[in-house]
């Protein structure tokens, strides 16, 4: 049986600084039967010139250039143009390690009914790489449950199996701007098998111009909308407005409502007697951390303190954060100072946990 063709859907909008490394990382894969479907979404930098340069030297590169229509329209157009049975996602600022596609193809061959797979990622910060460690939550295997609470894969690591996923499902919904991947993953995992390769096969680049960085607030609002829909359908949340309201504005009232909502969800999960309840509990804890981070990013420690006090979850946050937030009501200035120290400490810790990109073999000549 011949090796399946992989269509790599690569949306590009002003990707000049990192695009060449992304394209080269695909063309250097040890799996050669692939095509790159690159769509230039109205870039006004040199992105199109870079793509044209690679098309001239490798006929596996296909390019469509047109006016700007946005990411979701571009992704759907790329899927419609793809000729492969397997569709891989790739972002113009990330790097795929050389064995990524061969590892994912092997997984699909081992599990013919598998619909979607993702991989772990290393994080690329400037010229340094933070190597990943396996996340135990992915070993539960209850993807249809975990996908209710959070985006189960990093978008640029996924590969879709068109032999399993119906064409009318493999479409990004424009109703879920900046969380279109979360919506698609929950729909796929809700009906078909999904799997994670518990090894870093992509270097995910963190920088201030990324979609995640520039649209964080909108992304979080849409994320909350999706979780509210999921939990309401599951009968786990009777107050979806509480999640939508805190996405719109973080205030003492919306925090109180969200905390009550979180406790009610956990209470319903605790009342379940089936074997899937542990996956629901893991998903709910991940969602708690999402809310906690959303509130903490307001940099008003008295609000974070209120959320922790009402949910009673002091024990699940880091000890150094706990100590700083305890003083948030009586001395918010002291708590804010503590938060600043923690951020600097975390930055230093990330640096010492990282390694130079040039020492990571898959990144040599790319980063």
State the Cα–Cα distance between residues 74 and 10, nearest whole angstrom. Answer: 9
Tell me what pLDDT residue 335 has.
60
Residue for token digits 């400037």?
126
Q: What is the pLDDT of residue 207?
A: 86
In this predicted structure, what is the pLDDT of residue 128? 93
Residue 164 CA to residue 192 CA, distance in Å, equals 8
pTM for this prediction: 0.93
Exposed (0-12), middle (13-18) or buried (19+): which is 231, by Cβ within 10 Å? buried
How far is the first Cα of the chain from the last one, in angstroms, to the nearest whole number?
A: 36
For 200, the token pair is: 């870093």
pLDDT at residue 5 in the model: 98
The per-residue pLDDT for 189 is 97
C-alpha angle 140-145-150 in degrees, rounded to nearest 5: 95
Q: Output the CA–CA distances (angstroms, integers) from residue 50 to 23, 43, 44, in the order listed.
A: 9, 11, 12
All domains in the chain, ordered by first residue: 6-213 (3.90.550.10), 215-353 (no CATH)
Q: What is the pLDDT of residues 86-108, one digit of tens each?
A: 999 999 999 999 999 999 999 99
The two tokens of residue 326 are 């305890």
Cβ–Cβ under 8 Å, residues 280 and 143: no
pLDDT, residue 274, reads: 72
β-strands 34-41, 61-66 pairing:
parallel
Give the Cα separation of 250 and 220 in Å (integer): 12
Residue 155 to residue 138: CA distance in whole angstroms? 16
Report d(CA 131, CA 143) in Å as an integer: 24
DSSP state of 142: -
Tell how strand 354-356 and strand 116-125 pair up.
unpaired
How many of the other CB atoms lie within 10 Å of CB of 224?
24
From first to last of the 367 residues of the chain, give the pLDDT tens digit. 579 999 999 999 999 999 999 999 999 999 999 999 999 999 999 999 999 999 999 999 999 999 999 999 999 999 999 999 999 999 999 999 999 999 999 999 999 999 999 999 999 999 999 998 888 887 766 999 999 999 999 999 999 999 999 999 999 999 999 999 999 999 999 999 999 999 999 999 998 877 776 788 999 999 999 999 999 999 999 999 999 999 999 999 999 999 999 999 999 999 886 766 789 999 999 999 999 999 999 988 889 999 999 999 999 988 777 767 766 665 665 566 666 666 776 677 777 788 898 888 888 888 7
Q: How far is CA 299 from the centre of its chain?
A: 23
Specify the pLDDT at position 211. Answer: 72
Residues 6+ apart with CB under 8 A from 274: none
Distance of alpha carbon 338 from alpha carbon 324, whole angstroms? 5
Burial class (CB in 10 A: 0-12, 13-18, 19+), 59: exposed
Q: What DSSP string describes 262-312?
A: HHHHHHHHHT--STTHHHHHHHHHHHHHHHHHHHHTT--HHHHHHHHHHHT
pLDDT tens column, 258-297: 999 999 999 999 988 676 678 999 999 999 999 999 999 9
**Nearest Cα to 122, choosing from 182, 195, 199?**
199
Report the b/e string of 23-32 with b at 16+ CB within 10 A: bebbeebebe
Q: List alpha helices for 139-251, DSSP H.
A: 143-146, 180-189, 211-214, 216-233, 240-248
Residue 361: both structure tokens together? 């073999």
């Amino acid at each position: 049986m011949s090796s399946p063709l992989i269509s790599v859907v690569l949306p590009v909008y002003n990707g000049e600084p990192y695009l060449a490394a992304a394209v080269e990382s695909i063309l250097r894969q040890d799996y050669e039967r692939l095509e790159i479907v690159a769509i230039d979404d109205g870039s006004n930098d040199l992105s199109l010139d870079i793509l044209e340069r690679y098309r001239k030297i490798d006929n596996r590169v296909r390019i469509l250039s047109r006016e700007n229509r946005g990411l979701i329209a571009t992704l759907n157009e790329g899927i419609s143009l793809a000729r492969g049975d397997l569709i891989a996602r790739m972002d113009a600022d990330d790097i795929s390690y050389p064995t990524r596609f061969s590892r994912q193809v092997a997984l699909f061959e081992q599990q013919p009914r598998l619909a979607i797979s993702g991989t772990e990622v290393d994080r690329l910060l400037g010229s340094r790489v933070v190597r990943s460690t396996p996340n135990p939550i992915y070993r539960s295997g209850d993807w249809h449950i975990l996908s209710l609470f959070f985006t189960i894969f990093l978008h640029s690591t996924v590969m879709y199996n068109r032999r399993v996923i119906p064409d009318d499902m493999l479409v990004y919904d424009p109703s879920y701007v900046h969380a279109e991947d979360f919506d698609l993953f929950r729909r796929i995992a809700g009906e078909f098998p999904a799997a994670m390769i518990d090894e870093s096969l992509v270097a995910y680049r963190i920088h201030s111009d990324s979609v995640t960085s520039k649209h964080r607030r909108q992304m979080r609002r849409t994320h909350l909308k999706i979780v509210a829909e999921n939990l309401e359908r599951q009968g786990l949340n009777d107050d979806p407005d509480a999640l939508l309201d805190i996405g719109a504005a973080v205030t003492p009232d919306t925090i109180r409502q969200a905390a009550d909502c979180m406790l009610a969800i956990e209470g319903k999960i605790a009342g379940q007697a089936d074997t899937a309840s542990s996956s629901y509990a893991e998903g709910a804890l991940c969602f708690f951390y999402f809310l906690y981070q959303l509130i903490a990013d307001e940099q008003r420690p008295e609000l974070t303190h209120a959320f922790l006090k009402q949910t009673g979850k002091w024990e699940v946050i880091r000890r150094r954060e706990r100590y700083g937030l305890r003083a948030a009501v009586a001395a918010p200035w002291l708590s804010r100072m503590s938060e600043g120290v923690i951020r600097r400490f975390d930055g230093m810790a990330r640096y010492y946990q990282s390694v130079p990109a040039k020492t990571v073999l898959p990144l040599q000549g790319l980063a």
